[in-house]
Amino acid sequence: MKQYVIDQLRPADYEAVKSYLDENFESSGVEGIYWIPLDQGILTEVQAEHTECQPFYFAVDLEQNFMANELLVRTKSKMRCSCMGYATEKQLNWIIQFVDGVFDKLGIKI
């Protein structure tokens, strides 16, 4: 699995990120796994056409000492579909900027 990983989180960093994710995003139902919706403006043509599969997400796995952000764009409505796949360059940049922005917003230096 391709991921963007932030490691060596300090306990206070973990707690701050966990609180932020708990307050702002949907949990997957599995402890530490969150679904972050992708911006509609960066969907591929196929993703935009698949309105029944929307919204699209990337998954975040937050553990005590790291945060792993999957680079797989998925939907919760289907297990397999041609609209799912690894992030495009534009989506990859958006995911990285999003994650880095969370750390900036929380004042966490990585």
Q: Is the model more confident about 28 or about 98?
A: 98
Q: How far apart (Å, rounded) are the C-alpha atoms in residues 63 and 70?
A: 14
DSSP state string for 3-53: EEEEE---HHHHHHHHHHHHHHSEE-SSTTEEEEEPPGGG--HHHHH-GGG
* Residue-range domains of the chain with CATH: 3-105 (3.30.530)
Instruction: Supply the pLDDT for residue 26.
Output: 74
37-88 pLDDT, tens digit each: 999 999 999 999 999 999 999 999 999 999 999 999 999 888 889 999 999 9
72 residue type, one letter = L
Rounded-to-integer distance, Cα 59 and Cα 108, Å: 21
Predicted TM-score (pTM) of this structure: 0.91
Cβ atoms within 10 Å, residue 85: 15
